[in-house]
């Protein structure tokens, strides 16, 4: 990491540039969201730039919100960035703010990352001391300030609209869309919500040019991606790889292979897919290969499922997790996750599950849920039913 003055030289250049040109670099780079869904960052920025604050409450305002709630088990790349590279994230938020005309950046940081909260607060103080944030920054006429918020401790508060409610001091409940946050987000003002890693890509893009970023990676996934390997690997840790890198290479060359007999990988968090070992060679670290094979790259956490861990217990845990974390707003998730858990528990007591009923349940959750908590759970369940059929068959009628 270069000295701060060197690192922020690009910020002083940005402040002298046309904001549409800066946004154009991000669009050319085609940065896709690293938080899970892979949505192009440039689209959101442009929508927010074109939106008006219609609240009529005082000075019109827009926000950049950094989603640092990182709740996926086995994911810790956002933590790494916040603790070790806080200025990459902050500068990314400042540049995003400049593109859309936002004057406030809000970081919503997982409360279980207390060091990250303190490190980021100190980094903000350093920026203030250098005059890189505040009013009329370096005579540019642009104002920017930060607010750091300790998150509320619920997985669902990582969902962008529940997160906005949580910042507003409300219950962490998902909002219906439209309106999208870019139109009416935090306090109903135009807001861009991006993941930590997505925002951390921005300084590199502006320094090296959008085309240089676009050149890296695969056809539809540009740049690099942080991948987290859990303790089931010989060399667990965070690895940065160019998008398109074969998953097998990450596992064998970087992770050193499995540290214990393993039967599957749960990639992309609890709402991601369950990848059996025979599918590893079909996957690379990009959104498209995961989608093609019926899995999800998500935030790219890799959790290994031990050979001797019963898949039925794993599914029980997934339903239980969703039931506990459901915000309760929609029936398919609130009731479906609890019913799924009950069915799987009773199957372990000898009462076989009606397969058609179970399929109806997960289909209802998948297509009827308001957000990807209830809507995403069925993916892993369906993968397990497909690839671990022989193990699970005894629980189904
Ligand atoms: C239940 C749930 C939890 C989520 N948790 C996170 C999270 O911890 N961090 C994150 O960046 N995105 C999370 N997301 C995705 C966000 O809703 C949103 O898509 C993301 O912050 C957008 O940023 P990106 O485009 O940079 O990925 C979650 C989504 C759902 C449905
Ligand atoms: S799917 Fe679950 S978490 Fe999402 S809105 Fe519905 S009840 Fe809330």
State the CATH class of domain 224-306: alpha beta
Q: What is the pLDDT of residue 1?
A: 56
Which ligand has an atom closest to residue 337 CA?
2
* Helix H or strand E encompassing 13: helix 9-15
**Residue bearing the CA closest to ligand 1, atom 15:** 159
Which CATH number does the domain 311-395 belong to among 1.20.1250.20, 3.90.1170.50, 1.20.1440.230, 2.60.40.10?
1.20.1440.230
pLDDT computed for residue 153 by the predictor: 79
Q: Which atom of ligand 1 is nearest to the CA of 375?
A: 31
Judge contact between 181 and 206, C-beta under 8 A.
no
Decide if 255 contacts 233 (C-beta within 8 A): yes
Q: Say yes or no: CB of residue 334 within 6 Å of ligand 2.
A: yes
Protein residue closest via CA to atom 17 of ligand 1: 159
* 159 close to 372: Cβ distance less than 8 angstroms: yes
Phi, psi of 395 (to 5 degrees): -95, -5
Global pTM reads 0.97
Torsion region of 353: left, alpha or beta (phi above 0 gives left; psi -120 to 50 gives alpha): beta
CA distance 89 to 201: 8
pLDDT at position 342: 97
CATH classification for the domain delimited by 4-215, as one of 3.40.1190.20, 3.30.930.10, 3.30.1360.120, 3.40.50.11540: 3.40.50.11540
196, 163 contact by CB (below 8 A) = no
Ligand 2: centre distance to CA 155 (Å): 11
How confident is the model over 39-66, as pLDDT tens digits? 999 999 999 999 999 999 999 999 999 9
List the residue whose alpha carbon is closest to atom 18 of ligand 1.
Answer: 160
Ligand 2 atom nearest residue 369's Cα: 1
Residue 2's pLDDT is 63
| Of the candidates 387, 325, 335, 366, the residue with the CA atom closest to the CA atom of residue 158 | 325
Is there an atom of ligand 2 within 6 Å of 374 CB?
yes
Q: Which atom of ligand 1 is nearest to the CA of 110?
A: 8
Instruction: Tally the C-alpha atoms within 13 A of residue 181's C-alpha that lie toward its C-beta.
Output: 22
- Look at residues 393, 64, 383, 364 and name the one whose alpha carbon lies nearest to residue 196: 64
The ligand 2 atom nearest the CA atom of 374 = 1
140 vs 40: CA distance, rounded Å: 28
Q: Report residue 179: phi and psi, to 5°.
A: -75, 145
For residue 194, report the distance from its CA to the centre of ligand 1, in Å: 8
Q: What is the mean pLDDT of each run of 10 residues along the chain (397 residues)?
A: 86 97 97 95 98 93 98 96 98 98 98 97 97 97 97 93 97 96 98 98 97 94 97 97 98 98 97 98 97 97 97 97 97 97 96 96 98 97 97 95
Using a 6 Å CB cutoff, which residues line ligand 1? 33-37, 39, 67, 69-71, 155-156, 158-160, 193-195, 198, 371-373
pLDDT at position 152: 79
Name the closest-CA residue to atom 2, ligand 1. Answer: 159
What atom in ligand 2 is closest to the CA of residue 325?
A: 3
Label the pairing between strands 262-267 and 237-242.
Answer: unpaired
Per-domain boundaries in the chain: 4-215, 224-306, 311-395
Residue 374: per-residue pLDDT: 98
In sequence order, the β-bridge partners of residue 268 are none
């Amino acid at each position: 990491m270069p000295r701060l003055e060197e690192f922020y030289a690009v910020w002083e250049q940005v402040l002298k540039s046309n904001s549409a040109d800066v946004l154009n670099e991000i669009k050319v780079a085609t940065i896709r969201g690293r938080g899970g869904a892979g949505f192009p960052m440039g689209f959101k920025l442009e929508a927010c730039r074109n939106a008006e604050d219609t609240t009529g409450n005082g000075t019109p305002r827009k926000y950049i919100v950094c989603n640092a709630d990182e709740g996926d088990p086995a994911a810790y790349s956002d933590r790494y960035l916040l603790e070790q590279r806080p200025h990459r994230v902050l500068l990314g938020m400042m540049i995003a703010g400049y593109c859309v005309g936002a004057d406030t950046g809000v970081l919503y940081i997982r409360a279980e990352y207390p060091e990250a909260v303190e490190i980021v607060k100190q980094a903000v103080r350093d920026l203030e001391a250098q005059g890189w944030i505040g009013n009329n920054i370096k005579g540019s006429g642009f104002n920017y300030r930060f607010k750091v918020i300790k998150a509320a401790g619920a997985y669902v508060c990582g969902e962008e609209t529940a997160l906005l409610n949580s910042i507003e001091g409300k219950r962490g409940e998902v909002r219906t869309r439209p309106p999208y946050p870019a139109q009416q987000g935090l306090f109903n003002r135009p807001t861009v919500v991006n993941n930590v890693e997505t925002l951390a890509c921005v300084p590199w893009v502006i320094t090296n040019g959008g085309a240089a970023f676009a050149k890296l990676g695969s056809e539809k996934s540009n740049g690099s991606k942080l991948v987290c390997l859990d303790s089931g690997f010989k060399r667990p840790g965070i690895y940065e790889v160019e998008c398109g890198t074969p998953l097998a290479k990450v596992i064998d060359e970087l992770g050193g292979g499995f540290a214990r007999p393993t039967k599957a990988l749960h990639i992309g968090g609890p709402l991601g897919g369950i990848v059996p070992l025979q599918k590893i060679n079909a996957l690379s670290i990009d959104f498209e290969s995961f989608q093609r094979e019926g899995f999800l790259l998500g935030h790219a956490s890799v959790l290994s499922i031990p050979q001797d861990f019963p898949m039925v217990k794993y599914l029980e845990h997934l339903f239980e997790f969703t039931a506990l974390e459901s915000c309760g707003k929609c029936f398919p998730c609130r009731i479906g996750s609890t019913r799924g858990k009950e069915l799987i528990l009773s199957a372990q007591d000898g009462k076989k599950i009606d397969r058609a009923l179970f399929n109806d349940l997960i289909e209802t959750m998948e297509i009827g849920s308001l957000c990807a908590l209830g809507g995403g759970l069925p993916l892993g369940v369906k993968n397990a039913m497909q690839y671990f059929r022989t193990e699970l068959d005894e629980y189904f009628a």
